[in-house]
Amino acid sequence: MSTRHILLGLLSSGPSHGYDLKRRHDERFPQARPLAYGQVYTTLQRLVRDGLAKIEGTDSDGGPERTVYRATDDGERELARWASETAPPAPFVSNEIFAKVVVAILSGADPAAYLHDQRAAHMTRMRELTKVKTTPGADLATVLSADYALSHLDADLRWMSTTADRLATLTAEVTSR
């Protein structure tokens, strides 16, 4: 996830200051991890350093003074390049659940019990997400981001259930080497 490109994208609709960018980010991408202020300001400074954004001026608006940023032409080009570039599909398969299953087998613990508990945890999270998206008045952005997470959790669950069915074979394979 490229925070600099997302901030650049938010800037492309018009000049904005750091606090406003953070608020709009959290609003636009619900269910995502909220941005920290510090992260917003360091990222903006880097964008300015690389010539992708520049300082427009300051804006006090009755409150404390804030620096207003805007995207440069280079920034707009970079944003267009990034937005049209496909995301690499699963370049590295790093799977914490699988790692835990293998470790459980190696250490003589009960991988089936672990998978069962993991499944319960996944289902609990899926119920939470479903509740969020079926709350009356939920906007489409909320629904779509919840759906994204639900699809991934569902994929995990399917994988866990086929793995649970083949634990005996896996155990034999892992312990024989």
Chain residues that interact with another protein, rule: CB under 8 A: 116, 120, 122-124, 126-127, 129-130, 134, 136, 147, 150-151, 153-154, 157-158, 161
Q: How far is the CB of 81 from another protein (least distance, A)?
A: 32
User: Across the chain, how many H-helices and E-strands are there?
Assistant: 8, 3
Q: How far is the CB of 177 from another protein (least distance, A)?
A: 30
3-state secondary structure of 56: strand
Q: How far is the CB of 150 from another protein (least distance, A)?
A: 6
Of 81 and 158, which CB lies nearer to another protein in the complex structure? 158
Q: How far is the CB of 29 from another protein (least distance, A)?
A: 21
Of 54 and 122, which CB lies nearer to another protein in the complex structure? 122
3-state secondary structure of 90: coil
Which residue from 177, 160, 68, 172 is spatially nearest to 122, judged by alpha carbons?
160
Give the list of residues 6+ apart from residue 103 with CB closer than 8 angstroms, or none: 109
* Burial 15-48, CB ≥16 within 10 A → b, else e: bbbbebbbeebeeebbeeeebeeeebeebbeebb
- Report the DSSP pairing between strands 66-71 and 53-59: antiparallel
Of 58 and 151, which CB lies nearer to another protein in the complex structure? 151
Instruction: Label residue 73 exposed, middle or buried (CB < 10 Å: 0-12, 13-18, 19+).
Output: exposed
Q: How far is the CB of 57 from another protein (least distance, A)?
A: 46
Of 77 and 131, which CB lies nearer to another protein in the complex structure? 131
Of 149 and 170, which CB lies nearer to another protein in the complex structure? 149
